């Protein structure tokens, strides 16, 4: 019923916009009509293991971390409206439509305004947005080169760090690309959770430097820092025999993440249409200190915890013909978690079980145009004790206006 009401609202909105375009003067259409785009995403997954038993030893999962469901399912479809509001502001609204446990859910993924004329290289963004830290974090799922997120993004950000807040960036007036940014965030969403400090519980800073080596080669290097006051970040529940309600691990404390990302691109004489290669790698290190509580336990079970967690991935994607790409990716995690009660840490998923989770992926992709994509991907997933082999058949189709992607 909720999905139906949401889609009905969007249909009425689209009808109203169409009515405006029919009766408005031709020269004023762009003043009233936002760009509307719909990204359709679906997949067929074959896996040896059940998605319900997925875990990452040493990490408390949250957000949208996990693997696709077996068989046919919706992926990550998006409905977006965007437009210049006037000569000073740009606005965008994106609703994500996903499927979890056989049920479709909707979420406001983006809802922000962005300045257009601050001058001096400054840009201000306010609302809900993808954080600027890292390289891949700011990319929508349909713009990414693989059908799932790198392990380190799943472990530390629940696939993507999306927050409500304020972001300011500065672009240096130099031949070398230099961008500095800072964000003040609510801290209400994963991985912060809880909104400590009266809804201003997280912040970040990031920098990006890049340029051209020659006509065929370009690069970009990024440095990132994220800090949060975590208040009650819950993970998956753990049921025990004889208990009516699952005990849910919850973490409260301080969390900070340091990251480094690097991207190198090659295209003969800058012509990306015929052939190009993109190499990207990111590494994140997270330190956390606080208390883990097992909610619904009687009496309440708690343990202090100090975590030192590291994750990275590297991937290469080669467009060898105008419509064809292949890619390979490898990612790995490592954790060192200590606390006052090892049993509670184990129940919370913070025992690494002597495993360094890792995953290898290869993919082949066909794009008839920039608006359509069909992909087949194979994973050798060694994320936890039960090793898994996964095969995805995946399509992504874009309808309507869609802006260019960043570097």
What 3 state SS string does the chain have?
CHHHHHHHHHHHHHHHHHHHHHHCCHHHHHHHCCEEEEEEEEEEEEECCCHHHCCCCCCCCCCCCCCCCCEEEECEEEEEEEEECCCCEEEEEEEEEEEECCEEEEEEEEEEEEECCCCCCEEEEEEEEECCCCCCCCCCHHHCCCCCCCHHHHHHHCCCCEEEEEEEEEECCCCCEEEEEEEEECCCCCCCCCCHHHHCCEEEEEEEEEEECCCCEEEEEEEEEEEEEEEEEECCCECCCCCCCCEEEEEEEEEEEEEEEEEEEECHHHCCCCCEEEEEEEEEEEEEEEEEEEECCCCCEEEEEEEEEEEEEEEEEEEEECCEEEEEEEEEEEEEEEECCHHHHHHCCCCCCCCCCEEEEEEEEEEEECCEEEEEEEEEEECCCCCEEEEEEEEEEEEECCCCCCC
Distance of alpha carbon 89 from alpha carbon 32, whole angstroms: 14
Per-residue pLDDT of the chain (407 residues; tens, 9 = 90+): 434 444 444 444 443 433 333 333 333 334 457 899 999 999 999 999 887 778 899 999 887 888 888 889 888 899 999 999 999 999 999 999 887 766 788 999 999 999 999 999 999 999 999 999 999 999 998 899 999 999 999 999 989 999 999 999 999 999 999 999 999 999 988 898 876 667 778 999 999 999 999 999 999 999 999 999 998 898 864 434 444 467 889 999 999 999 999 999 999 998 999 999 999 999 999 999 999 999 988 888 999 999 999 999 999 999 999 999 999 999 999 999 999 999 999 999 999 999 999 999 999 999 999 899 999 999 999 998 889 999 999 999 999 876 667 77
pLDDT of 20 reads 34
pLDDT of 157 reads 93
pLDDT of 147 reads 94
pTM: 0.88
pLDDT of 296 reads 86
């Amino acid at each position: 019923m909720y999905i139906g009401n949401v889609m009905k609202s969007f249909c009425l909105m689209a009808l109203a916009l169409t009515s405006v375009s029919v009766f408005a003067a031709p020269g004023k259409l762009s003043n009233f009509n936002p760009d509307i785009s719909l990204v359709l995403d679906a997949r067929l997954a074959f896996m040896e293991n059940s998605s319900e038993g997925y875990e990452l030893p040493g990490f408390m999962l949250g957000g949208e971390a996990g693997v696709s469901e077996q068989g046919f399912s919706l992926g990550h479809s998006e409905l977006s409206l965007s437009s210049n509001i006037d000569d000073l502001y740009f606005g965008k609204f994106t609703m994500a439509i996903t499927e979890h446990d056989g049920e479709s859910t909707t979420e406001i993924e983006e809802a922000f305004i962005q300045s257009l004329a601050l001058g001096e290289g400054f840009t201000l963004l306010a609302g809900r947005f993808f954080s600027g830290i890292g390289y891949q974090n700011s990319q929508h799922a349909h713009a990414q080169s693989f059908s799932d997120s790198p392990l380190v993004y799943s472990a530390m950000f629940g696939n993507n760090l999306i927050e409500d807040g304020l972001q300011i960036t500065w672009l240096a007036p130099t031949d070398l690309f230099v961008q500095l940014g800072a964000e003040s965030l609510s801290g209400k969403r994963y991985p912060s959770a809880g909104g400590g400090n009266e809804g201003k519980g997280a912040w970040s800073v990031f920098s990006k430097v890049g340029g051209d080596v020659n006509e065929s080669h370009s690069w970009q290097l990024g440095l990132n820092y994220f800090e949060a006051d975590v208040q009650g970040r819950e993970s998956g529940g753990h049921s025990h025999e004889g208990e009516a309600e699952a005990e849910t691990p919850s973490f409260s404390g301080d969390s900070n993440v340091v990251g480094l990302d690097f991207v190198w691109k090659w295209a003969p004489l800058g012509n990306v249409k015929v052939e190009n290669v993109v190499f990207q790698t990111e590494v994140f290190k997270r330190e956390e200190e606080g208390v883990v509580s097992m909610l619904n336990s009687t009496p309440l079970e708690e343990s202090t915890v100090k975590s030192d967690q590291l994750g990275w991935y590297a991937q290469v994607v080669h467009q060898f013909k105008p419509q064809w790409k292949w890619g390979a990716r490898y990612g790995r995690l490592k954790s060192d978690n200590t606390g006052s009660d090892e049993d509670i840490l184990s129940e919370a998923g913070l025992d690494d079980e002597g495993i360094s989770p890792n995953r290898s992926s290869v993919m082949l992709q066909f794009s008839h145009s920039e608006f359509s994509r069909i992909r087949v991907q194979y994973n050798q997933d060694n994320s936890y004790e039960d090793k898994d082999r996964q095969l995805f058949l995946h399509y992504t189709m874009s309808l309507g206006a869609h802006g260019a992607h960043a570097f």
